[in-house]
Amino acid sequence: MSHPALTYTLGDRQVARLGYGAMQLAGPGVFGPPKDEARALQVLRDAVAAGVNHIDTSDFYGPHITNQLIKKALHPYADDLVIVTKVGARRNDKGGWLPAFTPEALTQAVEDNLRNLGLDVMEVVNLRSMLDVHGPKEGSLEPQVEAMIKLKERGLVRHIGLSNVTAKQVADAQAMTPIACVQNLYNLANRQDEALLDQLAAQGIPYVPFFPLGGFSPLQSDQLSEVANELNATPLQVALAWLLQRSPNILLIPGTSSPEHLKQNLASSEVKLTPEIVQRLNTIGQR
């Protein structure tokens, strides 16, 4: 199998398919400051130095703290760096995740992101559905998409994306405005979005899986470990390589708070999977 191209168009920017997800930089439970701020700043600087030009974040990580770390580490930003944020949620004082889904709250959230990141305009903002915090749920997102369109008209947002959404919600939103990307849960073991992923690929729209490594408890499987041993790679490198090979419109945003893990994750582009190995790995998600 030929190795997939390692860049793809996001909005009107060309980004490396191996990006970085900043959520792990805040304190435990994505709440409060990191235990080791210097290490968090190093991860961000190492990522950009290694060629990462797509960083996924949100002002509700921390809250505010993750964006402030990104600004501290990387501002003034390189011209080619695309920072993508998401709006739709807020945190309570115990770290709980609550909807902040009114047009006013979405507007406030975009303004908070801009201020904490030190930007005048966000390249891409994902509207994160909070109809159900745990997963996509059918229902109208029309008032929220309208609010995003207004923010675009005000010049605060260049491209609108969607997160935690169903295929119908994507199609309904596309009838209102261009959608630049979709960010949903997807990885080797969670493949409910296969049809949506292929549909977006046909439209040239990036699909950005969140929890590409399995999230807070990374993927573990005997089959994955077996393949990793054969390839002299780590299981999580194989999981990322599988995503890279699954479809050219997949953009990866693996999250880590560790410079060492970052290095391993970025090296996953060197892991080549034969069709036979892909077939073996595919059985993990079919169980």
Ligand X SMILES: NC(=O)c1ccc[n+]([C@@H]2O[C@H](COP(=O)([O-])OP(=O)(O)OC[C@H]3O[C@@H](n4cnc5c(N)ncnc54)[C@H](OP(=O)(O)O)[C@@H]3O)[C@@H](O)[C@H]2O)c1
Please identify every residue annotated as catalytic. 61
Q: Which is nearer to ligand X, 60 or 151 (CB)?
A: 60
| Strand pairing report for 157-163 and 182-183 | parallel
Binding mask 112-151 for ligand X (x = CB under 6 A): ----------------x-----------------------
d(CA 204, CA 285): 25
Pick one of 264, 267, 280, 285: the residue that binds ligand X (CB under 6 A). 264
Binding segment (CB under 6 A) for ligand X, from list 69-77, 117-125, 172-180, 214-222? 214-222
> Quick one: 130 exposed, middle or buried, by C-beta within 10 A (0-12, 13-18, 19+)?
buried
Pick one of 19, 63, 206, 255: the residue that binds ligand X (CB under 6 A). 255
Q: How many residues bind to ligand X according to rule CB under 6 A?
A: 28
d(CA 17, CA 4): 10
Q: Is 169 an interacting residue with respect to ligand X (CB under 6 A)?
A: no
Q: Which is nearer to ligand X, 3 or 216 (CB)?
A: 216
Structure tokens at 28: 């435990």
Q: Which is nearer to ligand X, 154 or 260 (CB)?
A: 260
Q: Mutual orientation of helices 65-74 and 37-49 as an angle, nearest 10°?
A: 60
Strands (E), the chain: 7-10, 13-16, 20-21, 54-56, 82-87, 89-91, 97-99, 122-128, 157-163, 182-183
What does each C-alpha distance from 274 to 174, 189, 229, 230, 233 come to in angstroms?
A: 36, 19, 15, 12, 14
Q: Is 261 an interacting residue with respect to ligand X (CB under 6 A)?
A: yes
Structure tokens at 35: 């235990």
Q: Is 193 an interacting residue with respect to ligand X (CB under 6 A)?
A: no
Pick one of 256, 269, 273, 284: the residue that binds ligand X (CB under 6 A). 256
Q: Is 207 an interacting residue with respect to ligand X (CB under 6 A)?
A: no
279: number of Cβ within 10 Å: 10
Pick one of 11, 19, 21, 34: the residue that binds ligand X (CB under 6 A). 21
Q: Is 269 an interacting residue with respect to ligand X (CB under 6 A)?
A: no
60: number of Cβ within 10 Å: 27
Q: Is 214 an interacting residue with respect to ligand X (CB under 6 A)?
A: yes
Q: Which is nearer to ligand X, 169 or 257 (CB)?
A: 257
Contact footprint for ligand X (CB under 6 A):
21-24, 56, 86, 128, 163-164, 183, 210-216, 218, 236, 253-258, 261, 264-265
